[in-house]
């Protein structure tokens, strides 16, 4: 029987970690698939020994971005109306008018929201996107690529990018089955669906329920629960280097125990440098009062190349060691900053060689749960906020935090004064927190967590048979 040819569509760089830097390719080859990456990223996948077809000159229809943005707002409006829940407003970004081009896009989006703000209107928006994208040169290019290569299945690594629309539509035009992976645990309440495929690959039963709730036109037999390859790297014992090697490489003190402070981007947390400073003050207090020897590993958000932490790092250079993510900056936009295979290993080793993590509401709680280590969530506003209208309450009002089965799945740092005592307690006694975090992890992600890639390939095989 001939091998089934699978196209792995990478419309942007966010899918590299899950589907190029994991065991996903290796497992697919072992299962006798013929795999080609349909690659719209600057990353050269042939350097990893993969077959690839580079996408060139990919451009969406001029109005598609406006329709996509309008679709998001209309979906959020409808969710608010259906559920009588204004929390969905937290997922909106303010319209920008800083340049003429951006202002025109904002006015177009607002106009489209006004005239299509209903279930019927939403359907028309989706139809307009399809019809417009089929008019593009990119769509014609995708048709030719698929006709020349004749894949049996096109699997998109991310449901969000505009530039995924034309390749998926081209495959559907040629009757090639398509599937997409829902990229992140918070994506569905945020109304980030851009492409519509024949099949949907989700992290968990929880996410499957969300998908059916927000997109009622998707049928149950189109949805497969597979988990995410995002956490598989943490179960690869061979990637872990010994303590001496890791500490020497990053100039850490072998006599210290380290807390990881995981940074956020500016939009998510404009006051992050102050939270890092508060954490450093707390550890300094612990070291003095308890005769402890604690330090901080600072891992900044991979898409934050700003200098906003410099003063805090300089002031606390005896306490904080910055170990930056190994990402490559190809362009100015956040989605042109690409992960690397080296950073996958660095993250696992940072977790392995630290005691716990402190951050503001990120999925790092699950990364640390893989290693049976606790997470502390910052849960207070600083005195001198950079943005007056920003608050931590906005973060924890996001819908995806409602999946937490027990509020004790994390350690809540409700003021700067609490940090020292709660870290002290967490280092001595955190079994209950870890147990609750792992329960939450099982709700968010199908277990065993290390078998996600295997489940995805088995699902593709099932679809094709």
Average confidence (pLDDT) per 10 residues, the chain, 465 residues: 91 93 96 97 93 96 97 98 95 91 93 97 98 98 98 97 97 98 96 97 98 97 98 95 97 97 93 98 94 94 91 97 89 68 96 98 97 98 91 93 95 97 94 97 98 98 95
Please give the full DSSP string across 275-330, using - where no structure is assigned: HHHHHHHHHHHHHHHS---EEEEEE--TT---STTHHHHHHTTTTEEE-----EE-
pLDDT of residue 67: 97
Please give the full DSSP string across 133-165, using - where no structure is assigned: HTTSHHHHHHHHHHHHH--SEEEES-S--GGGH
> Is residue 361, in this structure, part of any structural domain at all?
yes
> Is residue 131, in this structure, part of any structural domain at all?
no
Residues 30 and 74 in one domain: no
Give the bridge partners for 34, in sequence order.
5
Torsion angle, alpha carbons of 49, 55, 57, 62, to 10: -140
Q: How far is CA 299 from CA 30, 186, 258, 346, in A?
A: 35, 22, 12, 10
pLDDT of residue 183: 96
Q: How many helices (H) and strands (E) does the chain have?
A: 17, 15
Dist CA 315 CA 318 (whole Å): 8
Nearest of 197, 103, 151, 198 to residue 7 by alpha carbon: 151
pLDDT of residue 1: 62
Residues 48 and 159 in one domain: yes
Nearest of 443, 18, 456 to residue 208 by alpha carbon: 443
> Is residue 130, in this structure, part of any structural domain at all?
no
pLDDT of residue 329: 75
pLDDT of residue 334: 52
> Is residue 346, in this structure, part of any structural domain at all?
yes
Nearest of 225, 221, 144 to residue 181 by alpha carbon: 225
**Within its chain, how far is the Cα of 299 from the centroid?**
16
pLDDT of residue 109: 96
**What residues make up the domain containing 287?**
233-444
Dist CA 111 CA 37 (whole Å): 38
Q: Which tokens hold the place of 355? A: 């005691």
Long-range contacts of 213-216 (CB under 8 A, 24+ apart): 214/75, 214/79, 214/188, 214/189
Dist CA 161 CA 341 (whole Å): 22
Residues 163 and 186 in one domain: yes
> Is residue 65, in this structure, part of any structural domain at all?
no
> Is residue 17, in this structure, part of any structural domain at all?
yes
Q: Which tokens hold the place of 363? A: 């999925």
Residues 273 and 359 in one domain: yes
pLDDT of residue 7: 98
> Is residue 156, in this structure, part of any structural domain at all?
yes
Is residue 407 packed enough to be buried (19+ CB in 10 Å), middle (13-18) or exposed (0-12)?
A: exposed
């Amino acid at each position: 029987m001939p091998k089934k040819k699978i196209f792995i569509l990478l419309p942007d760089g966010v899918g590299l970690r899950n589907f190029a830097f994991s065991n996903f390719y290796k497992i697919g080859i072992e299962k006798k698939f013929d795999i080609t990456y349909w690659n719209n990223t600057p990353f050269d996948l042939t350097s990893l020994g993969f077959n690839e077809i580079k996408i060139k000159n990919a451009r969406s229809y001029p109005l598609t971005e406006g329709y996509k943005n309008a679709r998001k707002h209309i979906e959020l409006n409808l969710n608010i109306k259906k559920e009588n829940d204004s929390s969905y407003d937290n997922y909106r970004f303010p319209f920008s008018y800083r340049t003429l081009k951006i202002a025109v896009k904002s006015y177009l989006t607002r106009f489209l929201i006004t005239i299509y703000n209903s279930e019927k209107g939403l359907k028309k928006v989706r139809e307009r996107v399809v019809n417009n994208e089929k008019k593009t040169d990119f769509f014609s290019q995708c048709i030719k690529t698929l006709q020349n290569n004749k894949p049996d299945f096109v699997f998109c690594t991310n449901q969000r990018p505009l530039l995924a629309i034309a390749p998926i539509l081209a495959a559907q035009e040629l009757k090639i089955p398509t599937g997409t992976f829902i990229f992140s645990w918070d994506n569905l309440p945020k109304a980030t669906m851009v492409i519509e495929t024949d099949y949907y690959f989700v992290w968990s039963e929880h996410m499957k329920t969300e998908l059916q709730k927000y997109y009622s036109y998707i049928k149950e037999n189109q949805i497969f629960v597979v988990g995410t390859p995002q956490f598989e790297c943490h179960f690869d014992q061979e990637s872990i280097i010994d303590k001496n090697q890791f500490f020497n490489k990053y100039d850490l003190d072998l006599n210290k125990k380290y807390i990881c402070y995981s940074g956020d981007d500016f939009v998510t947390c404009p006051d992050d440098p102050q939270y890092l400073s508060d954490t450093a003050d707390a550890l300094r207090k612990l070291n003095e009062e308890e005769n402890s020897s604690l330090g901080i590993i600072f891992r900044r958000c991979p898409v934050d190349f700003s200098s906003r932490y410099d003063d805090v790092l300089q002031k606390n250079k005896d306490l904080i060691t910055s170990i930056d993510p190994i990402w490559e900056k190809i362009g100015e936009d956040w989605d042109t900053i690409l992960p690397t295979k080296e950073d996958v290993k660095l993250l696992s080793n940072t977790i392995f060689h630290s005691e716990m993590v402190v951050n503001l509401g990120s999925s790092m709680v699950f990364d640390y749960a893989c290693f049976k280590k606790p997470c502390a969530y910052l849960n207070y506003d600083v005195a001198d906020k950079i943005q007056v209208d920003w608050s931590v309450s906005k973060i924890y009002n996001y819908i995806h935090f409602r999946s937490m089965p027990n509020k004790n799945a994390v350690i809540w740092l409700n003021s700067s004064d609490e940090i020292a005592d709660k870290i002290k307690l967490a280092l001595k006694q955190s079994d209950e927190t870890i147990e609750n975090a792992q329960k939450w992890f099982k709700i968010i992600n199908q277990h065993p967590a290390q078998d996600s890639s295997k489940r995805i390939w088995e699902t593709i095989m099932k679809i094709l048979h």
